[in-house]
Structure 1
Amino acid sequence: MKDLLHHLPETPLLVMLWLIAGGKPATAQNNYEIQVYGSDTVAPKTTMLELHSNFTAEGSEPVPPSEYDSTGVYATNHAQHETLEITQGVTNWSEVGFYVFTSINGNGQGWQWVGDHIRPRVRAPDSWHWPVGASLSMEFGYVRPEFQKDTWTWEIRPIIDKQIGRWYFAVNPAFERSFHGPSVPQGVGFAPDAKFSYDFSKYISGGLEYYSDYGSLHDIYSFHNQQQQFFPSIDLNVSPQWEINFGVGVGVTAASDHWIIKGIVGRRFDWTHHRPDGSESM
């Protein structure tokens, strides 16, 4: 989940802290898991393991002589974020995911644990025969304050997608809430993501991914203070068991990390026992 500039706090103390930070957000961007979700869930008796690798080629700089940027968290410039995502299928229409966030920053701090999130998700069953794919994800977890001032956060993410011939479209209008940290007074924030891609062949798809954070629903940020990032990306469809995605992102606002290189490599593991005749055993 991505946290950016928040509106000016009302109390004098928080106003002072906001001014000291140069009018920038009290939390850092969360470029740990950069992905637009599709509506499908992992099948039951199946586990999906994914490694999200994101390198910030140009991000926030530390304020000398500290290791922190102007918001009071570790600077993102030249940081390498590695996230392990483990997703277990529960039923034909539900799954549970778990994230382990880690970071190797560019200031010689070494490899550090950042935090953990849990994410249950349900989808509209195929038997409903909806014209689009639809699912609903909820994510809750903790991040250390050295990496994000809002340590406990919650997100609800509606997911809508559609395959039309060789074209694929997905929209994730996410809503976020902080439960501990400076963004608590903001209430619910709006952070929509989207993707479109085209199947150039059976094995290669390419398109554009969009990530954003518009701020609080009752106080939308100015464009300058929003997160707006665009990722030209490719998907390699080498096997139904594998998920491979690469992209290079550019941030077009002052509140965004300006250049990020991302990669996702995932593998499904089917724990179903199959008989020699091809049928499934219980």
Structure 2
Amino acid sequence: MKRPLFLIIASIAVSLPAVCFAANEEIQVYMDDMSEPGQLGVDVHHNYVPSGDANAPYPGGLAARHQYRLTPEFYYGLTNNLELGLYLLTARASDGTAHFEGEKVRVKYIAPHDADNGAFWGANLEVGRTNLYASPQAWNAELKGIIGYRSGRWTFAMNPNVDWSLSAGGGPVTLDVDGKVAYKVTEKTQIGFETYNELGPLRHLQGWSQNSKTVYLALDHDFGAFDLNAGIGRGVTSDADKWVVKCIIGTHF
């Protein structure tokens, strides 16, 4: 019981307005981490936009500037290679009003591999139903590729992500590519960079200066009872939020 209690206390602490840790409900590069069969885990995603667009992206949507997102993610290990997950999306708008935005479910597969060295790969399929606060389309899906390589203290990973709407008239299929480079400073601490890049419609990819592209200085640390991923992001295109702060706290039961 100590681990879940500590997780809740830590999550509440980083949720306070003075230190809020909107961008997407989850800002992370998917890796090869998996829950053991029969094991339940939870990640609490926090992200906050101190500097971004003050206008709503569409009628009924929430402006990014000063928006804070809190997303609990529950996941369960089915086998050594399969994991199920559930997201509960919430947001606090710049005027202080709180909103529940919907739910998403996922199934993640990671192929057998050496966890310490060499290549790893897998995929994550996500389907969600959200309200207008989160998206103009109610039903959406994403197929996330997971590709990575470890060599000594270095870790490299990439997620090519294909997104599409399951709602009628939902628009084109789009592509974004996320990446991570991390260096192991100690056995429990990594520092590095993460990058999140929207490339536009899959059939007509757009130029580098278009759409949202953000680079994060990131820290990963294993505290034993829980793990932490935190980062400060800087938008590098005009469509991106100028600054984003993110924090993910996770544990297993």
- Is the TM value for this pair above 0.5? yes
SS where residue 64 of structure 2 aligns? Answer: coil
Distance apart, 1:220 and its partner CA:
1.6
CA distance in 2, matches of 1:181, 1:261: 34
Give the alignment partner of residue 102 of structure 1, picking from 90, 94, 97. 90
Distance apart, 1:131 and its partner CA:
4.5
SS where residue 219 of structure 1 aligns? Answer: coil
The question of whether the paired residues in 2 share the 8 Å contact of 1:42 and 1:88 is answered with yes
- The unaligned stretches of length 5 or more in structure 1 are 1-28, 63-68, 270-282
Distance apart, 1:201 and its partner CA:
1.4
- The ranges of structure 1 where at least 4 consecutive aligned residues each deviate by more than 4 angstroms after the TM superposition are none
Q: Give the percent of matched residue pairs that are identical in Structure 1 and Structure 2.
A: 28
- Higher-Rg member (1/2): 1
- Per-residue CA deviation, residues 110-153 of structure 1 (Å, 9 max, x unaligned), is x21011100001121249xx951111110000121133213211
Alignment CA distance shift 1:185-1:105 (3 Å): closer
Q: Which residue of 1 aligns with 2:26?
A: 33
Distance apart, 1:163 and its partner CA:
1.7
Give the alignment partner of residue 222 of structure 1, picking from 207, 213, 231. 207
- Per-residue CA deviation, residues 171-219 of structure 1 (Å, 9 max, x unaligned), is 111111112276x331x21111110100111232100001111011112
1:164 aligned onto 2:157: no
The question of whether the paired residues in 1 share the 8 Å contact of 2:23 and 2:244 is answered with no
Q: Which residue of 1 aligns with 2:16?
A: none
State the TM-score, normalized to the length of structure 1: 0.77
Distance apart, 1:70 and its partner CA:
4.9
SS where residue 233 of structure 2 aligns? Answer: strand
Q: How does 1:107-146 map to 2 (within 5 A)?
A: 107-109=95-97, 111-126=98-113, 131-146=118-133
Q: Which residue of 1 aligns with 2:171?
A: 185
CA distance in 1, matches of 2:209, 2:182: 28
The question of whether the paired residues in 2 share the 8 Å contact of 1:151 and 1:181 is answered with no
Distance apart, 1:162 and its partner CA:
1.9
Q: Which residue of 1 aligns with 2:70?
A: 82
Q: What amino acid maps onto 1:149 in structure 2?
A: P
SS where residue 185 of structure 1 aligns? Answer: coil
CA distance in 1, matches of 2:47, 2:133: 18
- Per-residue CA deviation, residues 69-118 of structure 1 (Å, 9 max, x unaligned), is 25221111101100000010000110101000100111232x21011100
The question of whether the paired residues in 2 share the 8 Å contact of 1:38 and 1:159 is answered with yes
The question of whether the paired residues in 2 share the 8 Å contact of 1:118 and 1:141 is answered with yes
The question of whether the paired residues in 2 share the 8 Å contact of 1:40 and 1:135 is answered with no
Q: What amino acid maps onto 1:103 in structure 2?
A: A
The question of whether the paired residues in 1 share the 8 Å contact of 2:23 and 2:48 is answered with no
The question of whether the paired residues in 2 share the 8 Å contact of 1:215 and 1:221 is answered with yes
Q: Which residue of 1 aligns with 2:251?
A: 267
The question of whether the paired residues in 2 share the 8 Å contact of 1:74 and 1:146 is answered with yes
Q: What amino acid maps onto 1:84 in structure 2?
A: P
Alignment CA distance shift 1:101-1:185 (3 Å): closer
- Per-residue CA deviation, residues 205-251 of structure 1 (Å, 9 max, x unaligned), is 10000111101111222333321110001111222x52201100011
The question of whether the paired residues in 2 share the 8 Å contact of 1:214 and 1:221 is answered with yes
Q: What amino acid maps onto 1:36 in structure 2?
A: V
The question of whether the paired residues in 1 share the 8 Å contact of 2:180 and 2:195 is answered with yes
Q: What amino acid maps onto 2:171 in structure 1?
A: P
Q: What amino acid maps onto 2:174 in structure 1?
A: G
- The unaligned stretches of length 5 or more in structure 2 are 1-21
Aligned residues: 229
Q: How does 1:54-69 map to 2 (within 5 A)?
A: 54-62=47-55, 69=56
